[in-house]
Amino acid sequence: MCASCDAASNGQANGQTNGNGTSNGTNGANHDGFTSIKSAHNPHPSHRSSPYAPVGDFLSNVSRFKIIESTLREGEQFANAYFDLEAKIKIARALDDFGVDYIELTSPAASEQSRRDCEAICKLGLKAKILTHVRCHLDDAKIAVETGVDGLDVVIGTSSYLREHSHGKDMTYIKNTALEVIEFVKSKGKEIRFSSEDSFRSDLVDLLSIYSAVDKVGVDRVGIADTVGCASPRQVYDLVRTLRGVVSCDIETHFHNDSGCAIANAFCALEAGATHIDTSVLGIGERNGITPLGGLMARMIVADRDYVINKYNIKKLKEVEDLVADLVEVNVPFNNYITGFCAFTHKAGIHAKAILNNPSTYEIINPQDFGMSRYVHFASRLTGWNAIKSRAEQLGIQMSDAQYKECTTKIKAIADVRKIALDDTDSIIRTYYHNLHAEEEKPLLPGLTAEEEKKFIEAEKELEGVKEKRQLDAAAAADAEVPESKKTRTAVVA
Amino acid sequence: MCASCDAASNGQANGQTNGNGTSNGTNGANHDGFTSIKSAHNPHPSHRSSPYAPVGDFLSNVSRFKIIESTLREGEQFANAYFDLEAKIKIARALDDFGVDYIELTSPAASEQSRRDCEAICKLGLKAKILTHVRCHLDDAKIAVETGVDGLDVVIGTSSYLREHSHGKDMTYIKNTALEVIEFVKSKGKEIRFSSEDSFRSDLVDLLSIYSAVDKVGVDRVGIADTVGCASPRQVYDLVRTLRGVVSCDIETHFHNDSGCAIANAFCALEAGATHIDTSVLGIGERNGITPLGGLMARMIVADRDYVINKYNIKKLKEVEDLVADLVEVNVPFNNYITGFCAFTHKAGIHAKAILNNPSTYEIINPQDFGMSRYVHFASRLTGWNAIKSRAEQLGIQMSDAQYKECTTKIKAIADVRKIALDDTDSIIRTYYHNLHAEEEKPLLPGLTAEEEKKFIEAEKELEGVKEKRQLDAAAAADAEVPESKKTRTAVVA
Catalytic sites of B, residue numbers: 351
The residue of B44, B259, B271, B336 whose CB has the most chain A CBs within 10 angstroms, and thus the best one to mutate to test that interface, is B259
What pLDDT score does A40 carry?
42
Strand partners, A223: A195, A252
What pLDDT score does A450 carry?
83
CA distance A291 to B335: 12
The residue of A364, A372, A383, A419 whose CB has the most chain B CBs within 10 angstroms, and thus the best one to mutate to test that interface, is A364
Main-chain phi, psi angles of A350, to 5 degrees: -60, -35
CA-based nearest distance A483→chain B, Å: 31
Residues of A in contact with B48 (CB under 8 A): 160, 203
Contact A49 B164 (CB under 8 A): no
What pLDDT score does B467 carry?
45
Contact B288 A362 (CB under 8 A): no
Taking the CB of residue B92, how many other CB atoms lie within 10 A of it?
A: 24
Contacts with B250 (C-beta within 8 Å, 6 or more apart), sequence order: B220, B221, B222, B275, B276
Main-chain phi, psi angles of B488, to 5 degrees: -85, 165
- Between B213 and B3, whose confidence is greater? B213
The answer to whether residue A367 neighbours chain B at the CB level (below 8 Å) is no
- Tell me the per-residue pLDDT of A308-343, one tens digit each, with 9 for 90 and over: 999 999 999 999 999 999 898 888 899 999 998 788
Question: Chain A residue closest to B159 (CA)?
Answer: A361
Nearest to A381 among B114, B262, B295 (CB): B114
Mean pLDDT of all residues belonging to chain A = 81
Query: Strand, helix or coil at B135?
Result: strand
Q: Kindly state the DSSP code that residue B150 receives in the 8-state scheme.
A: S
Average pLDDT, stretch B180-192?
A: 97
Spacing of C-alpha B237 from chain mean position = 22
Residue ranges, chain A, pLDDT below 70: 1-56, 165-168, 347-353, 355-357, 375-383, 394, 419-423, 464-494
- Tell me the per-residue pLDDT of B90-128, one tens digit each, with 9 for 90 and over: 999 999 999 999 999 999 999 899 999 999 999 999 999
Is residue B486 pLDDT above 60, yes or no? no
Main-chain phi, psi angles of B395, to 5 degrees: -85, 5
Is residue B334 pLDDT above 80, yes or no? yes
Of the listed ranges A185-189, B6-10, B404-408, the one predicted with least confidence? B6-10
What pLDDT score does B25 carry?
32
- Tell me the per-residue pLDDT of B195-253, one tens digit each, with 9 for 90 and over: 999 999 989 999 999 999 999 999 999 999 999 999 999 999 999 999 999 999 999 99
What pLDDT score does A24 carry?
31
Nearest to B100 by CA among B130, B134, B123, B140: B130
- Between B278 and A165, whose confidence is greater? B278
Contact A340 B288 (CB under 8 A): yes
Nearest to B233 among A2, A264, A333 (CB): A264
CA distance A70 to A282: 11
Nearest to A233 among B233, B335, B382 (CB): B233
Catalytic sites of A, residue numbers: 351
CA distance A77 to A105: 11
Contact B260 A298 (CB under 8 A): yes
CA distance A416 to A445: 13
CA distance A304 to B329: 35
CA distance B416 to B463: 10
- Between A431 and B419, whose confidence is greater? A431
Query: Strand, helix or coil at B192?
Result: strand
Residue % of chain B over a pLDDT of 90: 50
Question: Chain A residue closest to B409 (CA)?
Answer: A111
Of the listed ranges A266-275, B25-34, B478-487, the one predicted with least confidence? B25-34
The answer to whether residue A261 neighbours chain B at the CB level (below 8 Å) is yes
Contact B354 A382 (CB under 8 A): no
CA distance A383 to A387: 7
Which sign does the torsion angle of CA B30, B32, B37, B43 carry?
negative
pLDDT band at B417 (very low <50, low <70, confident <90, very high): confident
CA distance B389 to A218: 40
> To 10 degrees, the CA torsion angle through B133, B136, B138, B143?
-10
What pLDDT score does A39 carry?
43
Residues of B in contact with A262 (CB under 8 A): 260
The answer to whether residue A77 neighbours chain B at the CB level (below 8 Å) is yes
- Between B46 and B129, whose confidence is greater? B129
Nearest to A365 among B2, B258, B263 (CB): B258
In the β-sheet with B345-346, what is the strand arrangement from edge to edge? B34-36, B375-377, B345-346
Contact B217, B245 (CB under 8 A): no
What pLDDT score does A395 carry?
72
CA distance A232 to A256: 11
* B360 half-sphere exposure, CB direction, 13 A CA radius: 27
CA distance A185 to A423: 64
Contacts with B174 (C-beta within 8 Å, 6 or more apart), sequence order: B136, B156, B158, B210
Contact A364 B459 (CB under 8 A): no
ipTM: 0.74
Contact B238, B261 (CB under 8 A): no
Residues of B in contact with A48 (CB under 8 A): 160, 203, 205-206
What pLDDT score does B480 carry?
56
Residues within 8 A of A (CB atoms), B 313-332 only: 330-331
Contact A160, A122 (CB under 8 A): no
CA distance A363 to B69: 23
* A49 half-sphere exposure, CB direction, 13 A CA radius: 6
Contact B236, B262 (CB under 8 A): no
The residue of B198, B268, B334 whose CB has the most chain A CBs within 10 angstroms, and thus the best one to mutate to test that interface, is B334
The answer to whether residue A113 neighbours chain B at the CB level (below 8 Å) is yes
Contact B360 A80 (CB under 8 A): no
Residue % of chain A over a pLDDT of 70: 76
> Contacts by B115-120 with C-beta closer than 8 Å and gap 24+?
B115/B143, B115/B147, B116/B85, B117/B83, B117/B85, B117/B88, B118/B144, B118/B147, B118/B149, B119/B147, B119/B148, B120/B85, B120/B88, B120/B89
CA distance A352 to A349: 5
The residue of A41, A111, A147 whose CB has the most chain B CBs within 10 angstroms, and thus the best one to mutate to test that interface, is A111
- Which domains are seen in chain A, by residue range? 66-303 (3.20.20.70), 385-479 (no CATH)
Taking the CB of residue B113, how many other CB atoms lie within 10 A of it?
A: 23
Question: Chain A residue closest to B356 (CA)?
Answer: A165
Nearest to B264 among A205, A233, A416 (CB): A233
The answer to whether residue B28 neighbours chain A at the CB level (below 8 Å) is no
Residues of A in contact with B206 (CB under 8 A): 48
CA-based nearest distance B228→chain A, Å: 5
Task: Read off the amino acid at residue B364.
Answer: I
